[in-house]
């Protein structure tokens, strides 16, 4: 990077809780970025961790003056982000994830494209890597980076050119964005970034996805954790409707809910008509054939026959468990007074 450039000061916010296994790699990748060390700060907001996370972060803060440790007594991510935003000294704020590592030019590329395109939020490609180097871990990573698994989530599946999008992973924002549209919704334990970015877009601001900006993300690799995480993600794809009157997620996040609801609905109504019985099997068989088709393609690409057997199970778990979570989230939202209050007051 040209040292003669007048560079903006950047604040990097890392919300984390119980991340002793990953926070070292995350911080090391950020510290070694090529952005001038005197032009950025790292705010690690720790949510009352029960492992050694806080001690690890404190050790880094003692060694590096650019790192600050902040406490988050409420533990959840949106509160951590807002603590970081309020404490930030930078005119540009980058939201990162403790479960990820970042390329050496990550910060400089974010700043470069934010200015070149006059964007309000810039993000990059998230390359999904297995947290554990196991067969299950690799299969999970493949599912979470495939269009059949995650739909048109471009930051997961990739793009060749910069593109204007509706959401990005993490995000590099101008601080003035938060002054215009507010901070993160602290009622949203999950999905707060999606809701914020949709609020940003509704305000007429723009988000840019740049393939040159690269991070590596490490999802849960064991089957039980994968199930639990998908279910919670499904719940929080719908539950935000309880707290806001705007569309808080993208349409793709509703597809698993529609899929699972159609299966439950048709099999229930099949007691009254054979049309619904055959509709149930048509939906299920269509999904099964699509699942097998894409699983076979992955197996050929990876040159490993074993993926034909595991990928249908991974995809099925991803979609069905997420959909069940969304159904539970919808029920919780509909029975709440807050949901109907938001509907009638707007």
Note the pLDDT tens digit of each residue in 246-259. 676 777 889 999 99
Name residue, tokens 């070292």: 24
* In a shared domain, residues 192 and 306: no
- Give the pLDDT band (50/70/90) at residue 4: very low
Which CATH number does the domain housing residue 14 bear?
Answer: 3.90.550.10
Q: 46 with 114, same domain?
A: yes
Residues 276, 173 share a domain = no
Long-range contacts of 286-289 (CB under 8 A, 24+ apart): 287/259, 287/319, 288/312
pLDDT of residue 342: 66
In a domain, 231, yes or no: no
Report the pLDDT value the prediction gives residue 3, as an integer from 0 to 100. Answer: 46
Q: Are residues 76 and 165 in the same domain?
A: yes
276's tokens? 């619904």
Task: Give residue-wise pLDDT tens across range 13-56.
Answer: 999 999 998 999 999 999 999 999 999 999 999 999 999 999 99
| 135 and 23 in a common domain | yes
- In residues, how long is the chain? 346
Whether residues 290 and 152 share a domain: the answer is: no
**First-residue to last-residue Cα distance in the chain:** 49
Q: Which two tokens stand for residue 93?
A: 């704020």
What percentage of the chain reaches a pLDDT higher than 70? 96
Question: What digits encode the pLDDT tens for the residues 52-76?
Answer: 999 999 999 999 999 999 999 999 9
Q: Are residues 203 and 59 in the same domain?
A: yes
99 domain residue, yes or no: yes
Say what percent of the chain tops pLDDT 90.
Answer: 72
Q: Is the domain of 323 the same as that of 197?
A: no
Are residue 213 and residue 263 in the same domain, yes or no? no
Together in a domain, 209 and 255: no
**Which range, of 81-95, 154-168, 274-288, averages the lowest pLDDT?**
154-168
How far is Cα 257 from Cα 57, in angstroms, rounded to an integer?
39
> How does the average pLDDT of the chain come out, rounded?
91
Do 157 and 51 belong to one domain? yes
**In the chain, how many domains are there?**
2
What's this model's pTM, rounded to 2 decimal places? 0.86
Residue 302 is assigned to a structural domain of this protein: yes
Of 221, 238, 266, the position where a domain reaches its end is 221
Q: With cut-offs at 50, 70 and 90, classify the pLDDT of residue 344.
A: low
Residue 28 or residue 341, greater confidence: 28
Say whether both 281 and 176 belong to one domain: no
Residue 161's domain comprises 10-221
| CA–CA gap between residue 115 and residue 128 (Å, rounded) | 27
Structural domain includes residue 5: no
- Give yes or no for a contact between 98 and 22, defined as CB atoms under 8 angstroms apart: yes
Record the tokens describing residue 67, joined without a space: 């790192």
């Amino acid at each position: 990077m040209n040292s003669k450039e007048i560079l903006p000061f950047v604040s990097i916010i890392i919300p984390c809780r119980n991340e002793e296994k990953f926070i070292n790699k995350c911080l090391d990748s950020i510290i070694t970025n090529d952005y001038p060390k005197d032009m950025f700060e790292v705010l690690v907001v720790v949510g009352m961790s029960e492992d050694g996370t806080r001690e690890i972060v404190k050790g880094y803060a003692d060694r590096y003056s650019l790192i600050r440790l902040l406490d988050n007594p409420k533990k959840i991510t949106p509160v951590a982000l807002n603590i970081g935003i309020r404490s930030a000294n930078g005119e540009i704020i980058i939201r990162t994830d403790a479960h990820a590592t970042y390329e050496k030019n990550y910060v400089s590329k974010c700043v470069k494209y934010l200015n070149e395109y006059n964007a309000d939020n810039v993000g990059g490609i998230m390359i999904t890597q297995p947290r554990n180097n196991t067969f299950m871990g690799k299969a999970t990573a493949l599912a979470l980076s495939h269009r059949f698994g995650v739909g048109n989530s471009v930051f997961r599946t990739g793009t060749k050119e910069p593109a204007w999008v509706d959401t990005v992973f993490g995000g590099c924002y101008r601080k003035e964005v938060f002054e215009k549209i507010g901070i993160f919704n602290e009622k949203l334990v999950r999905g707060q970034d999606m809701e914020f970015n949709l609020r940003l877009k509704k305000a007429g601001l723009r988000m840019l996805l740049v393939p040159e900006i690269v991070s590596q993300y490490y999802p849960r690799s064991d089957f039980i954790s994968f199930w639990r995480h998908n279910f919670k993600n499904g719940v929080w794809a719908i539950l935000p409707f309880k707290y806001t009157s705007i569309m808080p997620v993208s349409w793709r996040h509703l597809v698993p809910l529609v899929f699972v609801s159609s299966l439950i609905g048709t099999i229930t109504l099949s007691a009254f008509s054979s049309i619904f019985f055959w509709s149930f099997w048509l939906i299920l068989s269509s999904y099964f054939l699509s699942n097998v088709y894409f699983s076979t393609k992955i197996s050929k690409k990876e040159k490993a026959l074993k993926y034909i057997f595991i990928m249908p199970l991974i995809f099925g778990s991803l979609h069905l468990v997420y959909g069940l979570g969304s159904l539970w989230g919808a029920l919780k939202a509909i029975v709440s007074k807050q949901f109907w209050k938001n509907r009638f007051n707007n």
